[in-house]
Amino acid sequence: MLTCVNEPTFAREDAFSNAQSGQIRERDVSLQKHDLVHEFPEHRERIHALKLNDNHFARLFAEYHETDHAVHRIESGAEAATDERLEALKVARLRLKDQLYAMIKADAA
């Protein structure tokens, strides 16, 4: 009976070569969550205040969080979706982030 003792080595070599080429790093970056406080850490207090005092901001913030969570679930493989669905969610997340950032900046003025 023959056994292949090199199988684990091949897997390690593939992982190593992928890491060297940046493939693993790119995948890890895409799996990062994009919660608003981490996107704009310098506005942490303002975001908190707006969530408490501005119903429209709070609603958009909740929608942004839900959309970001959906994107993360798809990218991590926990949920299946078409490429078109994933891209639509990413576009929606970006639009919401733009709206929220505009509101944060307006509140700062």
In the chain, where the domains are located: 34-108
Q: Tens of pLDDT along 18-72?
A: 444 444 434 444 566 678 888 899 999 999 999 999 999 999 999 999 999 999 9
Whole-number mean pLDDT of the chain?
79
Q: What is the pLDDT of residue 28?
A: 47
CB 56 within 8 A of CB 99: no
Q: What is the pLDDT of residue 3?
A: 40
- Other C-beta atoms closer than 10 Å to the C-beta of 68 total 21
Q: Quote the CA–CA distance of 37 and 44 in Å, as a whole number.
A: 6
User: Residues 69, 78, 8, CA angle at the centre, nearest 5°?
Assistant: 130
Q: What is the pLDDT of residue 30?
A: 55
In 22-82, which residue ranges form alpha helices assigned H by DSSP?
23-30, 36-39, 44-53, 55-76
